[in-house]
C-alpha cells in the first residue's frame, strides 16, 4: 500500500518515471540482444505510471518523449510486444484524459508537449509506425509470467482486462489506431500551431506511386503500402476505430482517395459498410439499456437505445421551440425523427406518449399560426414583402 501513496515526500511516481527513463535508454540494445531484464523493468514501471498523474512538467515531458522514442526506435519482437502495447496505452491514457477533464492544465500541457515539444520531431515516423502496426495486425505472443500484473495476481487473471470479454486479436494494432485518431483530431483549433501528426497522416502517399509531387501537391510526409492499408481497412471495418480512420483518410488524404477510386475491387470496401448500416437499426432499436440515471424527466427501466435516442431528440425539439427558436435545428431534428421512423420497433410506452404529445403540440401550433395568417391576409396584401417572413415561421411551429 505504501507504493500507492504518491506525494511530495514519497515521490513514488517520479521515481518510477525515472526508472523507466533509465531503462528506456537500454531498450533498443536489450531487444537486439534478446535480454528481457530491462524490457520487463520498463514495462512494469509504465504499468504503474499510467495510472497515477505526476505534476513535474519537466519529468512528464521526458516521459512523453521517451514513450514516443520507444515506439519508433525499439524493434517489435515477441520480447517487446507487451512493452510496445503498454507504451502505446500510456500515451493513449495521457492524451485521451483531455476528453474527460477539459481545461485541466496537466493534460493540456501533455498535449502541447506532443504537438510542439521534443516529441514532435518524430511526428512523421511516429504516425507511419502506428499505421504499420495497424497494417501488420501482429498478435501478442504467449503469456509471460514476468509482468507485474501476473506477479501481483499470481497469474490467476488476465492482463488487467475482463477475462469474460473477448478483446481484439491484435491489441497493439487496436491501440495504435486509437492513439493515431486521438492525435490527429486533437489540437486542430489552434491556428498558430499546426498539428504535425494530422499533417503527417493527411499527406502520406503510396510507396509505389512513381509520380513526383507537383507544385499543386503537398510534399509527401512519408510513404507506405496503400495496398496493404486498403486490405486491412476492408478486413476490420467492423471496428469503429477502423471506420473512423477510413473516413479521415478518404475525406482528407487526396492521394489515398485517388488510390481507392482506382481500385477494381471497390465492393471489398463498400460491402462491409453496407452490412453494418443494414443491421444498424436492429442494433439500435433492440439494444437494451438499464439505469440511465442522467435522464431526469422520468425514471425509465428497460428502454432500448433507439427509444432513448427518440426521447433526447424530442426533448431537443421541445426546448428549441420554447427557448432557442432555431429553425435549422428544428428542421434537422424533425428530419432525424422522420428518417428513423420506418425502423421504430417495440418502443417503450413513455416514448410513444412523447411522440404523440409532440405531434399534438406541433399540430396545435401549426393550426394556430395558419389561422393568424388567414386573419391578417388582408393586411399582408397591402405589404407583400412581409408575406415570406410570416410564412417562414411555419417551419418553427
Residue 384 and residue 335 share a domain: yes
Q: How far is CA 179 from the centre of its chain?
A: 8
The verdict on 112 and 237 lying in the same domain is no
Task: Tell me, yes or no, whether 378 and 234 share the same domain.
Answer: no
- pTM of the prediction? 0.66
Q: Please indicate, yes or no, whether residues 265 and 321 belong to a single structural domain of this protein.
A: no
Residues 142 and 251 occupy one common structural domain: no
Reported in sequence order, the residue ranges of the chain that DSSP labels E, i.e. its strands, are: 205-206, 223-224, 288-289, 303-304
The Cα-based distances of 93 to 49, 88, 111, 380 in angstroms read: 11, 9, 11, 62
How many structural domains does the chain have?
A: 3
**If we measure between CA atoms, which residue out of 172, 55, 49 comes closest to residue 105?**
55
SS3 288: strand
pLDDT at 156 (0 to 100): 43
Distance, CA of 101 to CA of 97 (rounded, Å): 6
Nearest partner of 130 among 138, 140, 142, judged by Cα: 138
Reference 61, options 17, 20, 110; nearest CA is 110
Residue 119: what are its φ and ψ, rounded to 5°? Answer: -65, -25
User: Does residue 150 sit in the same domain as residue 4?
Assistant: yes
Torsion of CA 58, 64, 70, 71, to 10 degrees: -160
Same domain (yes/no): 141, 99: yes
- Residues 378 and 233 occupy one common structural domain: no
15-53 per-position pLDDT tens digit: 777 777 777 776 666 666 666 666 766 777 677 666 565
Residues 6+ apart with CB under 8 A from 54: 6, 13, 14, 17, 60, 63
The answer to whether residue 286 is domain-embedded is no
Longest CA–CA separation in the chain, Å? 93
Q: What is the dihedral of CA 203, 251, 228, 170, to 10 degrees?
A: 100
CA distance 70 to 387: 68
Range of the domain at 97: 1-160+167-193
Decide if 144 is inside a domain: yes
Q: Spell out the residues 6+ positions from residue 16 whose beta carbon is closer than 8 angstroms to its own.
A: 45, 48, 49
User: Crossing angle for the helix pair 305-319 and 349-375, nearest 10 degrees?
Assistant: 30
- 269 and 322 in a single domain? The answer is no
Q: Are residues 16 and 148 in the same domain?
A: yes
Shared domain for 177 and 272, answered yes or no, is no
At which of 278, 294, 327 does a domain end? Answer: 278
What torsion, rounded to 10 degrees, do the Cα atoms 142, 144, 148, 150 define?
Answer: 80
**Is beta strand 303-304 parallel, antiparallel or unpaired with respect to 223-224?**
unpaired
Q: Write the DSSP symbol of residue 121.
A: G
Query: CA–CA separation, 328 vs 383, rounded Å?
Result: 27
Residue 99 pLDDT? 52
Residues 162 and 176: their CA atoms lie apart, in Å, by: 20
Give, for all 397 residues of the chain, the pLDDT tens digit. 444 454 444 456 677 777 777 777 766 666 666 666 667 667 776 776 665 655 667 888 888 999 999 999 999 988 889 889 999 999 998 887 655 544 444 546 788 889 888 999 999 999 999 999 999 999 998 765 445 445 444 444 444 444 444 568 899 999 999 999 999 987 666 566 688 999 999 999 998 765 554 444 556 689 999 999 999 999 999 888 999 999 999 999 999 999 999 999 989 999 988 887 777 666 676 677 877 788 888 887 788 888 888 998 998 898 888 887 888 888 888 998 988 888 888 888 999 999 999 999 989 988 888 888 887 776 666 555 555 555 554 445 4
Domain boundary among 278, 313, 328: 278
Coil vs helix vs strand at 36: helix
Burial class (CB in 10 A: 0-12, 13-18, 19+), 106: middle
pLDDT digits (tens, 9 = 90+) for 231-267: 999 999 988 899 999 999 999 999 999 999 999 998 9
Amino acid at each position: 500500500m505504501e507504493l500507492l501513496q504518491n506525494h511530495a515526500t514519497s515521490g513514488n511516481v517520479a521515481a518510477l518515471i525515472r526508472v523507466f527513463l533509465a531503462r528506456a535508454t537500454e531498450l533498443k540494445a536489450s531487444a537486439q540482444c534478446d535480454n528481457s531484464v530491462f524490457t520487463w523493468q520498463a514495462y512494469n514501471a509504465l504499468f504503474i505510471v499510467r495510472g497515477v498523474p505526476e505534476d513535474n512538467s519537466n519529468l512528464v515531458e521526458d516521459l512523453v518523449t521517451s514513450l514516443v522514442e520507444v515506439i519508433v526506435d525499439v524493434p517489435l519482437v515477441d520480447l517487446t510486444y507487451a512493452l510496445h502495447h503498454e507504451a502505446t496505452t500510456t500515451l493513449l491514457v495521457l492524451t485521451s484524459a483531455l476528453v474527460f477533464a477539459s481545461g485541466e492544465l496537466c493534460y493540456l500541457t501533455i498535449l502541447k508537449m506532443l504537438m510542439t515539444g521534443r516529441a514532435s520531431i518524430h511526428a512523421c515516423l511516429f504516425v507511419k509506425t502506428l499505421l504499420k502496426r495497424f497494417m501488420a495486425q501482429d498478435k501478442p505472443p504467449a503469456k509471460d509470467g514476468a509482468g507485474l500484473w501476473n506477479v501481483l495476481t499470481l497469474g490467476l487473471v488476465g492482463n488487467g482486462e475482463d477475462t469474460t470479454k473477448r478483446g481484439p486479436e491484435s491489441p497493439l494494432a487496436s491501440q495504435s489506431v486509437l492513439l493515431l485518431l486521438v492525435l490527429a483530431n486533437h489540437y486542430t483549433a489552434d491556428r498558430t500551431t499546426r498539428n504535425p501528426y494530422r499533417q503527417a497522416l493527411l499527406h502520406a502517399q503510396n510507396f509505389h506511386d512513381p509520380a513526383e509531387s507537383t507544385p499543386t501537391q503537398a510534399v509527401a510526409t512519408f510513404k507506405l503500402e496503400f495496398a496493404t492499408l486498403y486490405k486491412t481497412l476492408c478486413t476490420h471495418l467492423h471496428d469503429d476505430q477502423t471506420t473512423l480512420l477510413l473516413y479521415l483518410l478518404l475525406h482528407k488524404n487526396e492521394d489515398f482517395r485517388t488510390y481507392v477510386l482506382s481500385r477494381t475491387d471497390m465492393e471489398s470496401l463498400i460491402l462491409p459498410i453496407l452490412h453494418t448500416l443494414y443491421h444498424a437499426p436492429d442494433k439500435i432499436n433492440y439494444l437494451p439499456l438499464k439505469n440511465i440515471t442522467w435522464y431526469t424527466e422520468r425514471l425509465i427501466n428497460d428502454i432500448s437505445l433507439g427509444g432513448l435516442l427518440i426521447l433526447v431528440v424530442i426533448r431537443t425539439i421541445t426546448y428549441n421551440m420554447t427557448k432557442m427558436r432555431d429553425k435549422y435545428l428544428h428542421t434537422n431534428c424533425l428530419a432525424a425523427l422522420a428518417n428513423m421512423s420506418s425502423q421504430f420497433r417495440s418502443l417503450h410506452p413513455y416514448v410513444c406518449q412523447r411522440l404523440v404529445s409532440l405531434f399534438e403540440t406541433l399540430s396545435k401550433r401549426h393550426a394556430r399560426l395558419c389561422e393568424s395568417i388567414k386573419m391578417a391576409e388582408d393586411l399582408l396584401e397591402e405589404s407583400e414583402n412581409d408575406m415570406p417572413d410570416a410564412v417562414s415561421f411555419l417551419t418553427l411551429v
